[in-house]
Amino acid sequence: MAWSIAEVARMSGVTSRTLRHYDQIGLLPPAGIGSNGHRFYEEGDLLRLQQILLMRELDLGLREIAAVLDSQADPLAVLRGHHARLLAERDRLETLARTVGRTIAELEEGKDTNEMTKINRPENLFEGFESSPAEDEARERWPEAWKQSQQARKTMTAADQERWQREVTAQMIRMADFMAAGTPVTDPAVQNEVDAHYRSVCRFWTPNATAYRGLAGTYVNDARFRANYDSIADGLAVYQHDAMAVYADVRLS
């Protein structure tokens, strides 16, 4: 069964103009073009469009989406990883909302007796707040660098943050392609990609060899970092770690 571009636009909410643009950049070519010049789409094209829209919801750029769909990385695994993180973040925010609501209720209860510190279980004040072991370690071991990083982040606009996140995602996908191809982490092409990663980090702080090795360690030792990388491709966190360790030894030591 095939659907016209107008029917696909109606079903998906994507304009015909956008669908034509997706065709022009090679992201979503139609299954065929009729003698009248009209595009038509088949079921596989609709499934690809769904994946495109899902990744757009996750703030990936069109080039990054194309790289995921066309690379050896499993798009379904990528989406499952993002889905798991979104669900985890939703649960964390719901817990925070309950924490704040409970605190408000307990403080209001104490108003009548002027006991504004009336908290039944003090530990409940902190339920849902998230602490990053990697960030805590960085703050403790490299306090000046950590301050520099925080200051740099404060100067970033929302557009800057979105652009940076897309760059990070694109780098992860390129590294996943190297890993899938069996490219050794010592390969110059891999090390050039790590160099791009290092320069991206230097936008916030400038790690020496020891600090960069420490950062590499977080990708395998911090559960959230590891899940983030392994959602792109299983084993990517270890591959990234090993490539960064080589870079630290060869270029930063």
**pLDDT digits over 75-111, tens only?**
666 666 666 666 766 776 777 677 677 767 766 766 5
If one counts the domains in the chain, the total is 2
Could you tell me if 223 and 156 lie in one domain?
Answer: yes
Could you tell me if 47 and 166 lie in one domain?
Answer: no
Question: From the centroid of its chain, how far is CA 154?
Answer: 19
Residue 153, in any domain of the structure: yes
Question: What CATH code is carried by the domain that includes residue 12?
Answer: 1.10.1660.10
Domain limits for position 178:
76-252
Could you tell me if 90 and 42 lie in one domain?
Answer: no
Residue 85, in any domain of the structure: yes
Could you tell me if 158 and 111 lie in one domain?
Answer: yes
Q: Quick check: 163 and 60 in contact, CB under 8 A?
A: no
Residue 94, in any domain of the structure: yes
Could you tell me if 95 and 157 lie in one domain?
Answer: yes
Residue 166, in any domain of the structure: yes
Terminal Cα-to-Cα distance of the chain (whole angstroms): 61
Return the pLDDT at 148: 65
Q: CA–CA separation, 164 vs 153, rounded Å?
A: 11
Residue 69, in any domain of the structure: no
Residues 103-146 have pLDDT tens digits of 677 667 665 545 444 444 544 545 544 444 445 555 565 566 66
Paired tokens of 251: 């270029």
Q: Quick check: 168 and 231 in contact, CB under 8 A?
A: no
Residues 202-216 have pLDDT tens digits of 888 788 999 899 889
Q: What's the pTM value of the predicted model, to 2 decimals? A: 0.50
Q: CA–CA separation, 141 vs 152, rounded Å?
A: 19
Question: What CATH code is carried by the domain that includes residue 117?
Answer: 1.10.490.50
Residue 62, in any domain of the structure: no
Q: CA–CA separation, 8 vs 45, rounded Å?
A: 10
Long-range contacts of 26-31 (CB under 8 A, 24+ apart): 26/66, 27/52, 27/62, 27/65, 27/66, 27/69, 28/52, 30/5, 31/2
Could you tell me if 210 and 159 lie in one domain?
Answer: yes
pLDDT at 151 over 80: no
Residues 177-203 have pLDDT tens digits of 889 889 999 999 999 999 999 998 888
Average pLDDT of the segment spanning 22-30: 93
Paired tokens of 189: 């092409």
Return the pLDDT at 59: 65
Q: CA–CA separation, 235 vs 111, rounded Å?
A: 54
For the ranges 15-19, 179-183, 221-225, 238-242, the one whose mean pLDDT is highest: 238-242
